[in-house]
Amino acid sequence: MKLRVYRRRVLVALGVPAACVLLTSCTPRYTPLAIDEQDGGIVAVWRGCSAARHHGIEELGLYRSDSNVDTSKVRPIWKIHAATGTRASAVRLGQAPPGFVTDTPLRQQLSPTDILTLIANDDSEDVWAYVTFRPEMLKPGVVVFDDETVKTTAQYEKIPHSYFGC
């Protein structure tokens, strides 16, 4: 499966040129994935809610690329997936949480100015989310989401759930 992530929309190409799903006008404003800095590490956080069909991270890949990453052409620098249908609401980059398997270990040092895209899918396999960021953007009390959008944690938590598909 090829996945191309674009700003504010996700195009999933199923391998057949005419068979693709373009999610635009009915999609939320933001994807439910964000990152923040916790205890000196980068943590991916899945913004879920009980009314949403998405319930947590089941697969997560980190790419050295902007949000136009074509996952069929660019290899991840780190990738994990749930082995038993486990979901996670938060994952520290470079570490597989319990119930997850590391497909590609993080062996590269991340430069503060690297442009990185983190792509996740949830347990329903039809909700793909991404966040593009540079490690230098991360500071305690700051959340990065979407395409390098930065807010304080308090500002981020005030964004209506409906903006994230809830």
pLDDT tens-digit profile of 29-47?
888 889 999 988 999 998 8
- Measured CA to CA, the distance from residue 45 to residue 125 in angstroms comes to 17
Does residue 81 register a pLDDT over 70?
A: yes
Hey, how many other C-beta atoms are within 10 angstroms of the C-beta on 48?
A: 20
Does residue 73 register a pLDDT over 90?
A: no
∠91-139-156 over CA atoms, to 5°? 70
Q: Sorting pLDDT into bands at 50, 70 and 90, what band is 52?
A: low
CB 109 within 8 A of CB 93: no
- Tell me phi and psi for residue 25, to 5 degrees: -65, -25
Q: Is 72 exposed, middle or buried (0-12, 13-18, 19+ CB in 10 A)?
A: exposed
Q: Sorting pLDDT into bands at 50, 70 and 90, what band is 71?
A: confident
Does residue 119 register a pLDDT over 50?
A: yes
